[in-house]
Structure 1
Amino acid sequence: MKLIIQLMLCAGLALTMPIHALASYETGLEAANRGEFALAQKEWEAAAKKGDMNAQYNLGALMLSGKTGQSDPKKAIKWIEQAANKGHVDAAYSLGLLYYTGSKEFKQDFSKAYKAFEVAAKKGHSAAQFSMGVMLINGQGMKKDASAGLEMLKKSGEAGNPEAQFNLGMAFASGQAGKKDPAEAFKWFLRSADGGYPMAQYQVGRMYLDGQGTDLNPATAKSWFLRAADKGHIESQYALGLMAYTGLGQAVNFEEAQQWFMRAVKGWDRNAQFYLGKMYMNGETGKADMVEAYKWLDLAASSGHEDAHFYRSFVASKLPKVDVQKAHAMAQQWFDANHSQPHKHYDLKPHAHH
């Protein structure tokens, strides 16, 4: 489980603060909304020194953003910490994120992160509750306590946090919650999926496809895979390609399968690379192309796909040596051109194509 890091400027007003402090904060907020960040900093700094916690938080966030020309994390965290100590919920959550990740200017400190999240979580901040749950489960900043962590995830999930809901689904699916409970896992995955979380949409699709925790329904599975795939979820794109290729829940459609596999390989899905190789080998793309087949099988094999090694050897036996060299060069060219794109490394060490 990982935390999603996001620090935002607060737009709330501290209505209990003195009128002169409020005016300074409001003037800074108006300036920030106009993009006049230097003026915003000046106004917020004046209000922050008078104790306005909203100004303190916004000033810290502004100093982190670098929108005034230079980022100043050390001063930023001091202002955010002052706001958090006054009970500013977003400041407490942001402080937790800052200590959780750390930076060049201040060390990562799980203990401080946990304490800051706890302040926000007690006031009902669902993202802080999720963060606390993750840290309890992983034993970060305190003694590991999976049971207490799951309770925090439930609080966050009940409040509508889709990532907490997804992680609860994973806990019940894996047995981390005490025992495997597919029906309970499906319930939480579905809530997260309805909230638009792509990984949960993929898991809901898989459960409909396997009939685990819910009724077997390939058509409904496909509809969930489509939602996730449209958000760029690679595994869902591959799943849609495989359904079209095998005729699972629909008629076999090689053209549709190729289109989905081509989308999935952009995310370096080695299974999609393997199936593209097979399709070019078998002529399922319109006509056989053994050089193109070798290219995709070579890429899949270099990512550790076991069957790709066998198929690549078979294709190589049908090609002149010069074409094998050409196909390998094409694979290397694709590898070099796409390696900067975000992708999964299947090996423990950074790999080179070979």
Structure 2
Amino acid sequence: MQLVIRLVLCAGLMLAMPIHAFASFETGLEAANKGDFMAAQKAWEAAAKKGDVDAQYNLGALMLSGKVGQNDPKKAIGWIERAASKGHVDASYSLGLLYYTGSKEFKQDFARAYKAFESAAKKGHVASQFSLGVMLVNGQGVKQNVAAGMEWLKKSGESGNPDAQFNLGMAFVSGQAGKKDPAEAFKWFSRSADGGFAQAQYQVARMYLDGQGVDVNPANAKSWFVRAADKGHVEAQYGLGLMAYTGLGQAVSFEEAQQWFMRAAKGWDRNAQFHLGKMYMNGEGLKADLLEAYKWLDLSAGNGHDDAHFYRSYVASKLSKSDVQKAHAMAQQWFDANHSHPHKHYDLKPHAHH
């Protein structure tokens, strides 16, 4: 899972600050909200030097954000550390993220990340509770303790954190929570899905299709696939294409299938690319086109789909040598035009199209 620092502009403790620090922090906050980050930096630096913990935290975060040009990362982190040492929970959380991920300026340090997350988690910081749970489950920066990690994940999940809820669902699917419990997994996935987490929405759809932890309901499955697909979830897009293609829970619609397969194919789903090749080969819902069929099967085969190799060979046997070369060039052109599109690699090393 990826943990990312965010610039947080907050004034959580400013009411406890002396009036001069309050004024400097407020001036910086107004400037930041107007996009004048240089002025914000100046005001927050003045307040930070007077001990305003909100200013210290926001100054460090602003310096790391790149919005005020090049800065000394160690100096920026120093301000965040000062705020964290005084109990600023957002500072502790951000410090945890910084040491969890590491960078070229400073080394990854799981032990320090754990301590920072622990400090914020004990004060009720929901995202820190999630991060602490993950580190305990994985044994990162601390001796592995799955049971304790699950308790922190549950605290975070009960407070509405969709990442924690999703991971709890996965733990009950895999048995990492102590036992496999599809019904409990469905409960947590559903809560995460309701919070808008696309991967959880996809899992809920799959469970409705497979009847795991809930009764089979293709209509509900499609509804959740759509929600995830609209957020760009490639596997959900493919799932919708397959439901339309096979008529699962609906009438067969090759037109709908093609639309969803095309969206998933652009996300480099090899199964969607394979089905597009078959549809063009057989003329299912569209005019048969062996060059297009070869193109999509070639892309799918290059993406690691075993059956695509067989079908590509079959299509090639129906084409002239020059047409095979033309179709391969079409595949290469599509590959070059779309390879920058966010996608996953199925193999351990980046794939190449040959």
* Residue aligning to 1:70: 70
Q: CA deviation at 1:342?
A: 1.3
Any residues of structure 2 matched to 1:26-41 within 5 Å, and which?
26-41=26-41
Task: Summarize the alignment of residues 76-115 of structure 1 with structure 2, pairs less than 5 Å apart.
Answer: 76-115=76-115
Aligned AA for 2:78?
Answer: K
In structure 2, how many angstroms separate the alpha carbons of the residues matched to 1:3 and 1:203? 22
For 1:352 and 1:28, locate their aligned partners in 2 and report how far apart those are by CA, in whole Å.
49
How many pairs does the alignment contain?
354
The residue aligned with 2:169 is 169
- Kindly state the Cα deviation for residue 351 of structure 1 after the two structures are TM-superposed: 2.0
Which letter maps to 1:64?
Answer: L
Counterpart of 2:345 in structure 1 is: 345
How far does the alpha carbon of each residue in 1:303-332 deviate from its partner, in whole angstroms, 9 at most, with x for none?
111111111111111111111111111111
Work out whether 1:323 is the aligned partner of 2:323: yes
| TM-score where L is the length of structure 1 | 0.97
Partner of 2:138: 138
How many Å apart are 1:13 and its aligned residue? 4.1
SS of the residue aligned with 2:142? coil
Distance 2:2 2:48 in 1: 33
Compute the displacement of 1:17 (Å): 1.7
Distance 1:324 1:11 in 2: 65
What is the deviation of 1:71?
3.4
**Conserved? CA contact 1:9–1:62, under 8 Å:** no
What is the CA distance between 1:4 and its match in structure 2?
A: 4.5
The residue number in structure 1 matching 2:48 is 48
Name the residue aligned to 1:266. 266
Counterpart position of 1:255: 255
Q: CA offsets, 1:3-35, max 9 Å, x none?
A: 344342323342122122112111221222222
Q: Residue 72 of structure 1: CA displacement?
A: 2.9
What is the distance in 1 between the residues matched to 2:106 and 2:9?
21
**Counterpart amino acid of 2:138?**
N
Q: Give the Cα–Cα distance (whole angstroms) in 2 for the partners of residues 152 and 220 of structure 1.
A: 31
Partner of 1:117: 117
Partner secondary structure for residue 16 of structure 2: coil
Per-residue deviation, 1:69: 2.7
Deviation at 1:207, TM superposition (A): 0.5
Unaligned runs of 5+ in 2: none
Distance of 2:197 and 2:305 partners within structure 1: 28
Q: Deviations over 1:180-220 (max 9, x none)?
A: 11000000000000011100001000111111100110011
The one-letter amino acid paired with 1:103 is S
Q: Is the 8 A contact 2:7 2:65 kept in 1?
A: no
Structure 1 residue 86: deviation in Å?
0.2
- More deviation, 107-116/39-48: 39-48
Counterpart secondary structure, 2:15: coil
Map 1:300-319; keep pairs closer than 5 Å: 300-319=300-319
Q: Distance in 2 between matches of 1:246 and 1:337?
A: 30
Distance 1:140 1:154 in 2: 19
**Mapped partners of 2:53, 2:212: distance in 1:** 49
Letter in 2 for 1:100: Y
Return the letter of the residue paired with 1:51: G
Give the aligned partner of residue 292 of structure 2. Answer: 292
CA contact (8 A) 2:3 2:101 kept: no
What secondary structure does 1:15 align onto?
A: helix
Contact residue 281 and residue 289 of structure 1 kept, 8 A: yes
Q: Look up the SS of the partner of 1:71 in the other structure.
A: coil
CA separation in 1, counterparts of 2:175 and 2:7? 33
1:71-100 C-alpha deviation (Å, 9 max, x unpaired)? 331111000000000000100000101111
State, as a whole percentage, how many aligned pairs show the same letter.
82
Aligned equivalents of 2:60 and 2:89: distance in 1?
A: 14
CA RMSD, 1 decimal: 1.2
Q: State the distance in 1 between where 2:7 and 2:124 align.
A: 18
Q: Which residue of 2 aligns with 1:225?
A: 225
Cross-structure match for 2:155: 155
Q: Aligned partner of 1:321: which letter? A: K
Q: Does 1:19 align with 2:19?
A: yes
Q: Distance in 2 between matches of 1:4 and 1:251?
A: 43
Cα distance in 2 for residues equivalent to 1:161 and 1:185: 15
AA at the equivalent of 2:87: G
- Alignment partner of 1:331: what SS? helix
Question: TM-score, structure 2 length as denominator?
Answer: 0.97
Paired residue type of 1:353:
H
